[in-house]
C-alpha cells in the first residue's frame, strides 16, 4: 500500500536490543565510548550495517564517510532520517544512536505495516558528530552539505593523520568533497535526546524542535595586580578574581533578561574560570572566563555579545583592572522548517502524543542538512536533563513513542 494507513505499532524489544547491543560496543574501561574513526566506532558501524541489511536496506558509505541505509521508493526524491553513532569520551547510551535505532524501528514498522514508500527513505549514521580529535564536530553532515573545504580536511588528528586521510581510511572519498553531495533530499527529520530538563519537568514525551541555536564563545581576560594576601590592604588591591566574579553574575543576569524577552531560547554560561596564580596567599593578578552563548535569535546573540563587552569593562573598572575580550567563535541559528514542524505536530496529535515546541541549545547534524533540504528534529526526554555522561537516560517507552511518531511522519512526508 502506498496511501496513508494506520501503521503497526513500533515493537519495543528489537529497539531495546539495538540499544543494548550498541552499548556493549564501547571502550571497556570507560563506558560508553565510541570515538569516531576508532576501531570501536567501526565495530559499531559493522553492527549497524548488519542491522540495516537485516531490515532490508541497501547500505553504502557516501564520500563524507556517512553510513547510509536505503529503502528504495518508486519515485525520485529522498526522505531522510538518522543521527550519529559516535560518542563523547565516557558519554551516554543514547546520544546520538537514538536517532538511528528509532529510525530502524520506524522503518521496520512501515514495512511490517506493508507500507510501500513512494520516495526513497534513507537512514543515515552521520560521521563524527561529536567534537573529534581533529577539533571539528559534525564532520559527516558538513561533508554532505559541502562545508568541508581544504582547511577542514587538512586538520591534523592523532598521530598527525589528516582529517581527509582519516575519512578516506574509513571508506569515504574526500576527492568528491567541497561541494554539496545531494540535491535529492525532500525532507530530513532527526530524533535526538533533549539533553536538557524541560520535557521531563513538564512530563511531555515529545519535543518538536523550533530551531538549533547559534553558538557564540567569548574569552574574557581580566588583568589586575598579583599581591600578597596578607600584606596588601583591602583598599589597595586590583583583584582580577573579583572582576571575574562580578562579570559572571552580570552575564547571568543579562542572559536571564534575554531568556525572558520572548526572543526564543537564550542561555549564557560561564563554565570556564581560571584565576592566576591560583594560590591561597596571593591576590589574583589575572583571571580568565569563557562565556558560552546560545541564541535561537541571531539578533539576540548580537545584542548580548556587545553587552558582554560592556559588562566586562564595568567589572574590570569596578576593581581597578583592565580587560580584553576575544570572540573565539560564532555560528548562526538554524530555524527548523515550519511545515515539517507542523507535519510532526499533526502526526503527534494523530497518535495521541503530547508534544511541545522546544529549541535546541545544542548543535546537531540537522543544522548542516538544513543547508540542503527542509530539516526538523524530534526530542525525547532526558532524565534529570543529563547527557554526555554515563548517567544519560531515557525510558524505552519514550523511544517507542518517538519511533511511532517518526514512522507516522515519514509516511505523511512521503504522501505530501
- Contact residues toward a copy of itself (CB under 8 A) are 194-198, 201, 213, 215, 217, 225-236, 239, 241-242, 244-246, 248-249, 252, 255-256, 259, 265-275, 277-284, 290, 292, 294, 360-363, 384-389
| Dist. CA 55–CA 260, nearest whole Å | 46
Give me the least distance between CB of 94 and a copy of itself, in Å please.
Answer: 14
Task: Specify the residue, 119 or 294, whose C-beta has the smaller distance to a copy of itself.
Answer: 294
Give me the least distance between CB of 238 and a copy of itself, in Å please.
Answer: 11
Residues 296, 210: contact at Cβ < 8 Å? yes
- Determine how many CB atoms are found less than 10 A away from the CB of residue 375: 27
Q: Residue 223: which of 246, 247, 245, 239 has the closest Cα?
A: 239
Residues 370, 138: contact at Cβ < 8 Å? no
Q: Residue 87: which of 21, 30, 158 has the closest Cα?
A: 30
DSSP class of residue 137? Answer: S
Task: Specify the residue, 116 or 388, whose C-beta has the smaller distance to a copy of itself.
Answer: 388
DSSP string, 179-210: S---S-EEEEEEEEE--SSHHHHHT-SEEEEE
The answer to whether the bond into 96 is cis (omega within 30° of 0) is yes
Task: Specify the residue, 114 or 277, whose C-beta has the smaller distance to a copy of itself.
Answer: 277
Give me the least distance between CB of 366 and a copy of itself, in Å please.
Answer: 14
Give me the least distance between CB of 21 and a copy of itself, in Å please.
Answer: 27
| Dist. CA 377–CA 381, nearest whole Å | 13
Task: Specify the residue, 9 or 229, whose C-beta has the smaller distance to a copy of itself.
Answer: 229
Give me the least distance between CB of 329 and a copy of itself, in Å please.
Answer: 10
Task: Specify the residue, 55 or 129, whose C-beta has the smaller distance to a copy of itself.
Answer: 129
Give me the least distance between CB of 297 and a copy of itself, in Å please.
Answer: 15
Hey, what's the cell of 22?
550498541
Give me the least distance between CB of 374 and a copy of itself, in Å please.
Answer: 23
Task: Specify the residue, 61 or 251, whose C-beta has the smaller distance to a copy of itself.
Answer: 251
Give me the least distance between CB of 281 and a copy of itself, in Å please.
Answer: 6
| Dist. CA 135–CA 336, nearest whole Å | 26
Task: Specify the residue, 88 or 185, whose C-beta has the smaller distance to a copy of itself.
Answer: 88
Residues 339, 376: contact at Cβ < 8 Å? no
Task: Specify the residue, 278 or 327, whose C-beta has the smaller distance to a copy of itself.
Answer: 278
| Dist. CA 368–CA 148, nearest whole Å | 11
- Determine how many CB atoms are found less than 10 A away from the CB of residue 320: 15
Amino acid at each position: 500500500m502506498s496511501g496513508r494507513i494506520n501503521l503497526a505499532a513500533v515493537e519495543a524489544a528489537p529497539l531495546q536490543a539495538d540499544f543494548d547491543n550498541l552499548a556493549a560496543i564501547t571502550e571497556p574501561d570507560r563506558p560508553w565510548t565510541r570515538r569516531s574513526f576508532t576501531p570501536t566506532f567501526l565495530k559499531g558501524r559493522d553492527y549497524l550495517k548488519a542491522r540495516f541489511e537485516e531490515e532490508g536496506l541497501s547500505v553504502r558509505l557516501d564520500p563524507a564517510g556517512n553510513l547510509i541505509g536505503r529503502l528504495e521508493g518508486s519515485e525520485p526524491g529522498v526522505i531522510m532520517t538518522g543521527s550519529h553513532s559516535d560518542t563523547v569520551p565516557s558519554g551516554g547510551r543514547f546520544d546520538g544512536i537514538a536517532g538511528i535505532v528509532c529510525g530502524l524501528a520506524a522503518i521496520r514498522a512501515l514495512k511490517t505495516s506493508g507500507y510501500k514508500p513512494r520516495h526513497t527513505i534513507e537512514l543515515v549514521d552521520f560521521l563524527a558528530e561529536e567534537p573529534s580529535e581533529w577539533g571539528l564536530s559534525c564532520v559527516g553532515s558538513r561533508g554532505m552539505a559541502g562545508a568541508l573545504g581544504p582547511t577542514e580536511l587538512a586538520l591534523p588528528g592523532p598521530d598527525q593523520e589528516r582529517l581527509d586521510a582519516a575519512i578516506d581510511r574509513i571508506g569515504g572519498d574526500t576527492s568528491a568533497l567541497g561541494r554539496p553531495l545531494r540535491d535529492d533530499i525532500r525532507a530530513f527529520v532527526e530524533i535526538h535526546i533533549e539533553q536538557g530538563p524541560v520535557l521531563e519537568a513538564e512530563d511531555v514525551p515529545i519535543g518538536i524542535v523550533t530551531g538549533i541555536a547559534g553558538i557564540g564563545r567569548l574569552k574574557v581576560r581580566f588583568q589586575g595586580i598579583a599581591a600578597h594576601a596578607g600584606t596588601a590592604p583591602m583598599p589597595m588591591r586590583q583583584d582580577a578574581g573579583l572582576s571575574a566574579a562580578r562579570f559572571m553574575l552580570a552575564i547571568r543576569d543579562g542572559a536571564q533578561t534575554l531568556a525572558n524577552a520572548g526572543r526564543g531560547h537564550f542561555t549564557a554560561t560561564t563554565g570556564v574560570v581560571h584565576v592566576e596564580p591560583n594560590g591561597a596567599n596571593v591576590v589574583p593578578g589575572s583571571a580568565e572566563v569563557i562565556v558560552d552563548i546560545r541564541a535561537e535569535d541571531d539578533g539576540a546573540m548580537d545584542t548580548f555579545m556587545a553587552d558582554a563587552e560592556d559588562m566586562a569593562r564595568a567589572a574590570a573598572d569596578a576593581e581597578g583592572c583592565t580587560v580584553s575580550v576575544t570572540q573565539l567563535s560564532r555560528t548562526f541559528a538554524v530555524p527548523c522548517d515550519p511545515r515539517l514542524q507542523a507535519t510532526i505536530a499533526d502526526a503527534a496529535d494523530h497518535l495521541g502524543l503530547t508534544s511541545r515546541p522546544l529549541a535546541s541549545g545544542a548543535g546537531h547534524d540537522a543544522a548542516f542538512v538544513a543547508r540542503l533540504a527542509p530539516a526538523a528534529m524530534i526530542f525525547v526526554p532526558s532524565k534529570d536533563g543529563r547527557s554526555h555522561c554515563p548517567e544519560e537516560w531515557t525510558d524505552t517507552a519514550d523511544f517507542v513513542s518517538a519511533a511511532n511518531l517518526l514512522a507516522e511522519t515519514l509516511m505523511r512526508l512521503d504522501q505530501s
